Structures are given as C-alpha cells and as structure tokens.
Amino acid sequence: MSEKKMDAVEEKARQLLTERGVSLHDIADLVYFLQVKYHPELDLDDCYDNVDRVIRKREVQNAILTGIQLDILAEKGLLEQPLQGIIDRDEGLYGVDEIIALSIVNVYGSIGFTNYGYIDKQKPGILEKLNDKSSGKCHTFLDDIVGAIAAAASSRLAHRAANVE
Ligand code: MG
C-alpha cells in the first residue's frame, strides 16, 4: 500500500478506523460525492489514493487516535461526568469533536473548510450510518473525523487537478 514503512501510530489509526466500521473506500465515496461535479471524469481510485495520502499525515493520525479513543471510552461508560453524558448524547453545543476534525481539514488549506461544512450538512453514505443513534455505538468524534478526512482529501485532489490543468 505505502512505499514507506508504516509506524505504530499510523498502523493503529488505520486499525481503529476499520474496527469502528469505516473503510477507506467509504471515505473515498465521500470524496467522489464532493468532487465529481467539478471533475466529471474523476474515478474512485483517485479518490481512494487521496484519502490514503491524507491518512499518512501525523496530524490526521493524532486526530483519529484521540477522537476514536474518546468515542470508545464514552461507549463503555468510562468517562467522568459531565463529559461522559455530553459525548454519549453527542450534545450539539459541545464542539470539541468539530475542533479536532478541523485540525485535519487545516492540513490542506481553505477549500477544505467549505467541503467539510457541506458534507457535515448533507451526511451522505457512511456519515448517515455513523449518525444513526439507534446503533448503540458512540460516534460523536468519528463522524466529524471521517467528514474531515473526506474534505481534506477533496482539497488535495482539487489542488492537484488545478496544477495539472
Ligand atoms: Mg460529532
């Protein structure tokens, strides 16, 4: 998959995404959703490749490790109150989930912010699944992280396309 050897942080970040039910293909589908209107000949392999590149960034891996860890602890009821309840209920005014996600979007500049806001409103594909509260899972952080990776990968793709054209 990657030329360079994966270190423990990257390996764990990728493993956590998989364990929490998110594949890179799911995120690639979101990138396709965001970008196909600007690049009609876009293919899913391009989307996948950009997602994979985004996940190689340490900032992104750190956000994944931190956010998913909090989701897991909340799901197990292991956090102290009031944080336990706030994360478990995915309270709208909490906002730290979005701040962590923005640290991912930040990596590829300002187009990412627009994409992130848009996909967070639309909630296509895997984002709809993660937001299904009836699953018994806590994805308060993960849904924002996945949206942010898709937004960052879209920015990366858009910048590269602009350089080619
Ligand atoms: Mg959230």
Q: Diameter of the chain by CA atoms?
A: 53
Please give the chain's pLDDT, 165 residues, in tens: 545 678 999 999 999 999 999 999 999 999 999 999 999 899 999 999 999 999 999 999 999 999 999 999 999 999 999 999 999 999 999 999 999 999 999 888 777 888 999 998 999 999 999 998 888 899 999 999 999 999 999 999 998 888 876
Residue 140 near residue 73, CB atoms below 8 Å: no
Alpha-carbon distances of 74 from 69, 139, 140, rounded to whole Å? 9, 9, 9
| Res 47: pLDDT | 98
CA of 87 to the centre of ligand 1 (A): 9
Query: What is residue 110's predicted lDDT score, i.e. its pLDDT?
Result: 76
Please name the CATH architecture into which domain 8-164 falls.
Answer: Orthogonal Bundle (1.10)
Domain layout of the chain by residue ranges:
8-164
Question: Considering Cα of 6, then 56, then 101, then 121, what sign does the dihedral take?
Answer: negative
Calculate how far, in angstroms, residue 117's C-alpha sits from the geometric centre of ligand 1: 12
The alpha carbon of 3 and the centre of ligand 1 are apart by a number of angstroms equal to 33
